[in-house]
Amino acid sequence: MGWGHFMILFFLINLLQFLHPCFALPLCTDSRAPFTPNTHLQFCSYNGTTCCNSADDLHIRRQFQSINISDSACASLLKSILCARCDQFSAELYRVDSVPREVPVLCNSTITSNSTQSNQATNNFCSQVWNTCQNISMLNSPFASSLQGGVVPPNSNSTRLTDLWQSQSDFCDTFGGASDGESTCYSGEPVTLNNTSPPSPPSGICLEKIGNMSYLNMVAHPDGSNRAFFSNQQGKIWLATIPNQGSGQPLLLDESDAFLDLTDEVHFDTEFGMLGIAFHPRFTENGRFFVSFSCDKAKWPNCAGRCACNSDVNCDPSTLGPDNGAQPCQYQSVIAEYTVNGTSPQPSLATGANPSEVRRIFTMGLPFTSHHGGQILFGPRDGYLYFMMGDGGGVGDPYNFAQNKKSLLGKIMRFDIDNIPSGNEVSQLGSWGNYSIPKDNPFINDNESQKEIWALGLRNPWRCSFDSDRPSYFLCADVGQDQYEEVDLITKEGNYGWRAYEGHYSYTSPRSTGGNTSSGSIRPIFPVMGYNHSEVNLNEGSASITGGYMYRSMTDPCMHGRYLFADLYAGAIWGGSENPIDSGNFTSSKVAFNCARDSPLNCTFSPESSVPALSYIFSFGEDNNKDVFLLTNSGVYRIVRPSRCNYSCAKENASSVVSPGPASSLAPSKASFLRCSYEIFLILSAFLCLLLMNFV
């Protein structure tokens, strides 16, 4: 390899290091949520919320001792750098999605936005490290990794910074970075965020009605157009065209021409049916999509699968007894793969799908007739399929399935559906289906746990979404039992408490057939938002939360950046705001709503009030413009400009609120996408140059 190869490789490595991380959230380097350790850390001065336990703290102490620095000033700086791995923002500091690092990104800029690193001296922490440590010998130096651009002197474990870099500029080009509102750097102190005054709540949400049918799922077409897929609980999927904002047109959908009809396979009842649809991230190339539904093995032989009540979880199906007339595991939860290949020259042009199932991804028998979750989503960063599953039913999760890691009930699962295993590998998975386990699933090396599990301790997750601007924000609404409905910020291996907790409240199940989990034996992650049952007027005598989206459209600029969710029965909508930004700390409040008088379809108003009678709010949807939709028992509603309902929003006049089409508006999420895309383009260009030079 010649000098030119080294130059391009150096450029490639450094460019990878400074890639826009496209996320900001208190997360540890292993993608787990920070926590409060049981005992104070003895070496690293991170108390309260941290990413280190006492074992991690001891490991860092030993690493520090092995470096053997004699200079006290340099030693103090190095200790703080090593301990940055305990920071609650360590995933951001170490930029783990690009190049693995031995040290965090050291602040080397005066640009500030989201952190309290506000003066030039603090933001030039990288320069401070260089000036203090440049001539200090270090054994096993964390700065000596060849991946960082330096060259370790031969036959030497002791190095100085000046042995590896010719100048402060070279050193900080490798290890430095900025805190610019989209990423965070290390200033020598734990990262904190600026508190700002909470944004004033919006006057209200203005809706227009664009459809009369009732749907359970809406997914934007992967081709980026103004089309979307809608599905109902009975088992049909339609492809619809969404009218432009301000056009005065309703949803264009032919009810007689379904994209896919699975009503013969789907078992439909109150908590059964077609519960989720997801299109492969490369659908426009491969035509693959996936459907989550319930089936009845008594009526469809292909339905049968392994029962979730089994010997692994000390549950005997014969002891369950009939539930509403059904035998244990008569009903199954299924994920099946379908394709549009063969129906059109290109997947994006397909208006119908092949009704034959390509493969069965997952099948599991259900012990009771409720709490089946059923939503499926592809992770925007990893491309894996996430499957939301409830605790299986029964008051108080009687078998304690949600806390039992040998059970898939009460969990969020994560599958790799692009690498289908062989027959022997499938049998090792316990005959749940055709998929492989992502190598970074949290329990992949735990023989006492189901390897499919990503998160646990959920009662019935009903509608989850990834924030399109910050993909690490994975928000799920979880239906409560007696008193609290919650919204959880989902992280790897997160335990959300059920049934030891209902929201923030300790919970004791009236039945404990499957054993108890004490509240003190787990480390629960409490909800970031939610509401007590006493806070809502309940039409049905009980509450049931419906999760929504982080609103990222500029159609209503006063709603931008708020998480929207609702109650299925109460007809109420909440908006949650985060303060400080990127902290994971939310407050929420009810938001008024009304229908535009010029709505394409007439809104029906409830007789006792002037608000629309939405009836049951089943779900939310989001299109390629990031506009948000409400899927209700009375039809499809879209959020529109607040002025159409005479709501005040000072930002509206200063914004471009009407988007002529999906490709015409650069919302913040698309601007971030283009920036990331440009950086990826540079990387690929450099890599191509490196390959071409091999042929010269």
Q: What is the mean pLDDT of the chain?
A: 86
pLDDT bracket for residue 330 (50, 70, 90): very high
- Taking the C-alpha atoms of residue 459 and residue 452, their distance in angstroms, rounded to an integer, is 18
pLDDT tens for 444-495 read 999 999 999 999 999 999 999 999 999 999 999 999 999 999 999 999 999 9
Q: Between 95 and 229, whose confidence is greater? A: 229
- Cis status, amide bond into 499, omega within 30 of 0: yes
- Taking the C-alpha atoms of residue 520 and residue 70, their distance in angstroms, rounded to an integer, is 44
Structure-token match 């059920």, residue found: 498
Q: Between 223 and 197, whose confidence is greater? A: 223
Residue 466: closest CA among 376, 404, 546, 543:
376
pLDDT on residue 679: 42
Residue 377: closest CA among 520, 445, 232, 476:
476
pLDDT on residue 190: 92
- Taking the C-alpha atoms of residue 696 and residue 690, their distance in angstroms, rounded to an integer, is 10
pLDDT on residue 425: 52
Reply yes or no on whether the pLDDT at 257 is more than 50: yes
Q: What number of other Cβ atoms are within 10 A of residue 98's Cβ?
A: 17
pLDDT > 90 fraction of the chain, expressed in percent and rounded = 68
Secondary structure string (H, E, C) spanning 207-240: EEEEECCCCCEEEECCCCCCEEEEECCCCEEEEE
pLDDT > 70 fraction of the chain, expressed in percent and rounded = 82
pLDDT on residue 99: 62
Reply yes or no on whether the pLDDT at 384 is more than 60: yes
- Between CA 686 and CA 696, with CA 691 as vertex, the angle to 5 degrees is 115
Q: Between 338 and 164, whose confidence is greater? A: 338
Q: Between 446 and 606, whose confidence is greater? A: 446
pLDDT bracket for residue 7 (50, 70, 90): very low
Least confident of 173-182, 236-245, 258-267, 345-354: 173-182
| Residue 128 near residue 171 (C-beta atoms within 8 A) | no
Reply yes or no on whether the pLDDT at 518 is more than 80: yes
pLDDT on residue 370: 94
Reply yes or no on whether the pLDDT at 692 is more than 90: no
Q: pTM for the complete prediction?
A: 0.87
pLDDT on residue 321: 65
pLDDT on residue 654: 65
Q: What is the mean pLDDT of residues 250-268?
A: 97
Reply yes or no on whether the pLDDT at 682 is more than 70: no
- Taking the C-alpha atoms of residue 286 and residue 283, their distance in angstroms, rounded to an integer, is 5
pLDDT tens for 537-574 read 766 667 999 999 999 999 999 999 999 999 999 889 99
Contacts 24+ apart (CB under 8 A), 116-120: 116/192, 116/193, 116/194, 117/179, 117/185, 117/187
- Ranges of each domain in the chain: 3-177, 205-247+266-645
pLDDT bracket for residue 527 (50, 70, 90): very high
Structure-token match 């922490």, residue found: 125
pLDDT on residue 612: 78
pLDDT on residue 322: 61
Residue 199: closest CA among 626, 580, 639:
580
pLDDT on residue 623: 98
Residue 484: closest CA among 534, 409, 520:
534
- Taking the C-alpha atoms of residue 57 and residue 72, their distance in angstroms, rounded to an integer, is 20
Dihedral sign from CA coordinates of 238, 244, 245, 246 = negative
Reply yes or no on whether the pLDDT at 695 is more than 70: no
Q: What is the mean pLDDT of residues 409-438?
A: 81
Reply yes or no on whether the pLDDT at 627 is more than 90: yes
Residue 466: closest CA among 220, 155, 173, 275:
220
CA–chain centroid gap for 304, Å, is 31
Q: What is the mean pLDDT of residues 32-57?
A: 92
| Residue 590 near residue 579 (C-beta atoms within 8 A) | no
pLDDT on residue 121: 41
pLDDT tens for 77-129 read 999 999 999 999 999 999 765 566 889 999 987 544 444 444 444 468 999 99
CATH 2.120.10.30 is the classification of domain 205-247+266-645: yes
